[in-house]
Amino acid sequence: MSNLAKRTLTGIVFVILIVGSIVTEPYLFAALFLIITAMGMWEFYSLVERAGIYPNKFAGTLSGMFLFISNALIAMDMAGRDILMGNFVLVFMIFLLELYRKIPNPFTNIAFTFFGILYVALPFSLLIFFPNPAFLPGVHHHSLLLGFFFLVWVNETGAYLVGSAIGKHRLFERISPKKSWEGVLGGGMFSLITAFVLSRFYTHIMFVDWIIIAAMVVVFGTYGDLFESMFKRSIDAKDSGRLLPGHGGILDRFDGVIMAAPFVFLYLTFFY
């Protein structure tokens, strides 16, 4: 099977899982992304170990999972915001546990343990709030979350197809030799078209809101791709993992989501 066929098949399976969990029950989406969060964090820590740095994989992954769970419970109105205080306890436990690990460069290990939580768990946990960014009781617009993923997928697919077909001018050759300006513009064009289509069906936010969200996805999704490429180059890794045929690992598949989600969340929170 060719790499394109593997990539397409894997993408279809992921789309079915994510879309299915979004349009059915928020619990299913939370469960799916709790698993993705755990796998993404373990993958990140395993990559960091290639550079001779040894974050606390178990404590970091458990802390990231708790951060996700606590935000999910708040978003689904199953717990108050005081549950977030548990995250502070886990943060300081990472400091204490490092005392007993007897591994060189303890503060570097601690720093990368925290970075894994910030880079992977926090953005994924913010996705739970997209259906109700104003924190209104009884409100759940799954279309906001669904639309965000559609825009990410269209942007990435459009950039890949256009860049592969006509890409000549390198966007950031030092970091990503294959990424081109033509690809970015192609992804942006398809994203704007998708934003227009979404605004026709999902009218509880205005057309200009969908355009702004699409622009954020294009800009920060591209930066997410570049950041992950920089990270992989720094440790001489081609892919973040081998879990997803044709896509690499969790971080390869969700690099755009990870970087774009916090900015879209802030926009929805302040302007929705």
pTM value?
A: 0.92
Q: Note whether 64 and 116 are within 8 A (CB).
A: yes
Residue span of the structural domain in which 157 resides = 3-271
CA distances, 98 to each of 11, 46, 52, 110 (Å):
39, 17, 16, 7
Tally of domains within the chain: 1
- Predicted pLDDT at 6: 66
Q: Note whether 76 and 135 are within 8 A (CB).
A: no
- Predicted pLDDT at 256: 94
Closest CA to 160 of 255, 234, 250, 21: 255
Q: Which class for 130: exposed (0-12), middle (13-18), buried (19 or more C-beta within 10 A)?
A: buried
Q: Residue 247: pLDDT above 60?
A: no
Tell me the two tokens of residue 136.
Answer: 């209104």
**13 band by pLDDT with thresholds 50, 70 and 90:** confident
List of residues 6+ apart from 193 with CB closer than 8 A: none
Q: Residue 121: pLDDT above 90?
A: yes
- Predicted pLDDT at 172: 83
Q: Residue 2: pLDDT above 70?
A: no
Mean pLDDT to the nearest integer, 149-153? 96
Q: Residue 32: pLDDT above 80?
A: yes
Sort residue 52 into left (φ over 0), alpha (ψ -120 to 50) or beta: left
- Predicted pLDDT at 116: 96
* Summary mean pLDDT of the chain: 90
